[in-house]
Amino acid sequence: MRRAFFHINARLFKSDNKQLRSTLNFLTKGSTLSTTLSELLEPGSNSEKSALKKVKDPEATKHVETILDVLNSTLPKSKLHTSKVQGHYDFLFQQLKVILRNTIKETGSIQSSPSALESLTSEELYNRLILLKLSNKLTISEVCKIVLSKNFKHYDSLWSNITLFDDMEMLQVSLLLYYKTHKMEIYKELKNKWIDNYSTFQASIRRIFWRCALHDNLDINEIIVKLQKWDNKELIILYQSLFEISNRLPILDDLSYNQGLFIRSLRALAVNTIKYKKWMVKIVKLSLKLKLYTEEKTQIDNQLISRYKFASSLNLVLQEVYNMCDDTVLQEELRDIFKMIDQQEQKMKTQISLKFV
């Protein structure tokens, strides 16, 4: 009650209004009120009318009305506040629409092409990423292009706004951020969630996951045990990601013929990664281009052409290595691989011929 009195007193004292000053005198010098101020404002008096009914003195009634006006003036004006907030949102979304129109006008789309990203600053890349999210056009492929761009540096800004993304987006975006920054804050908070949700990630993000594991010197086999799913597809992704240490990675028997050739070739060249890295990269790029990780062990007609392309292209890459290699052990291994490729090519040529008869 004392707090209420001092509040009212301060408001009345600062006012130039004669009526308010008169009310101040009324409060400080006493009155004929038979009802105290606390009684007027008790919980039961939930309206101005109920308060005024307790006062019979006309002069006192006038002062009570003044007091109630002062108290009511301190209440938040919810409608006005709501209107202001709505105005801010309208303004911001109007700006967003302008940005969106300008982006589409300049590029024909808000989707990011590699050539378009090269000319953008880090701030522009960050704004584009947020714009894609707000316009519901964000894909993990777009996130990878932007965050992995050599110009992108707004890692802290992206991490501070990570809650903009839904759960699955957040896990994949945060993994990209960790790959670029290696901040322990991110790692400690999300490591277990990355492992738990690994099988739901896009293939490109799974490769980033393994690159991070290699950087942190984690036990690959220990991680594999914790994964919900492990098959030939995941094994190919693992080899694509960590080809430099192929000879230390696990293997599986349940592979397609080309998948077996891919792994055997990488493991053979991994004896001297520094010397043969150039050709190892070519083999990995070839497997990515032809989506080797999706190849089935059983023969599928719509995969015949891609199977043949991979085997013949792999043969050309390994022939380059063989011609410059002076390691007799590796040469012998490559000759065995050439025989396997030749057998595979002959078989696929026959199948392709029969398919078009």
* Four-residue CA torsion sign, 149, 234, 253, 291: negative
Measure Cα distances from 348 to 11, 267, 286, 316 in Å: 93, 25, 18, 17
Tell me the pLDDT tens digit for each residue of 165-193: 999 999 999 999 999 999 999 999 999 99
φ, ψ at 46 (rounded to 5°)? -95, 15
Residue 105 has pLDDT above 70, yes or no: no
Q: Name the pTM for this structure.
A: 0.69
What gap in Å lies between CA 238 and CA 131, rounded to an integer?
33
Q: Scanning the structure block, which residue is given the tokens 């991994």?
A: 270
Q: Which pair of tokens denotes residue 335?
A: 């000759």
Q: Give 165 or 16, the one with higher predicted confidence.
A: 165
Q: Give 356 or 163, the one with higher predicted confidence.
A: 163
Cβ atoms 341, 261 nearer than 8 A:
yes
Least-confidence region, from 62-66, 81-85, 226-230, 301-305: 81-85
pLDDT at 40: 47
- Give the confidence band of 14 by pLDDT, cuts at 50, 70, 90: low
Instruction: Output the average pLDDT for the chain.
Output: 80
What gap in Å lies between CA 147 and CA 154, rounded to an integer?
9
Q: In angstroms, how far is CA 274 from the centroid of its own chain?
A: 34
pLDDT at 324: 94
Q: Which residues contact 134 (CB under 8 A, 6 or more apart)?
A: 96
Q: Which residues contact 1 (CB under 8 A, 6 or more apart)?
A: 37, 38
Tell me the pLDDT tens digit for each residue of 33-82: 444 555 544 544 444 444 444 445 566 666 667 666 666 665 555 555 56
Q: Which pair of tokens denotes residue 220?
A: 């690959």
What gap in Å lies between CA 76 and CA 189, rounded to an integer?
40
Tell me the pLDDT tens digit for each residue of 311-352: 999 999 999 999 999 999 999 999 999 999 998 878 777 776
97 burial via Cβ count (<10 Å: 0-12, 13-18, 19+): exposed
What gap in Å lies between CA 85 and CA 288, rounded to an integer?
49
Q: Where are the alpha helices (DSSP H) in the chain?
A: 2-14, 18-29, 37-40, 48-53, 58-73, 78-107, 114-118, 122-134, 140-147, 155-160, 167-181, 184-196, 203-215, 220-226, 232-241, 257-269, 273-289, 304-324, 328-355
Q: Scanning the structure block, which residue is given the tokens 């990209």?
A: 176
Q: Which pair of tokens denotes residue 267?
A: 């493991």
pLDDT at 43: 47
Residue-wise burial string across 301-336, b where 16 or more C-beta atoms lie within 10 A, e elsewhere: eebbebbbebbebbbebbeebeeebeeeebeebbee
Residue 109 has pLDDT above 80, yes or no: no
Closest CA to 243 of 284, 282, 271, 278: 284
181 burial via Cβ count (<10 Å: 0-12, 13-18, 19+): middle
What gap in Å lies between CA 17 and CA 339, rounded to an integer?
104
Measure Cα distances from 3 to 10, 292, 347 in Å: 11, 76, 94
What gap in Å lies between CA 252 and CA 222, rounded to an integer?
16
Map out the domains of the chain as residue ranges. Answer: 2-73, 232-357
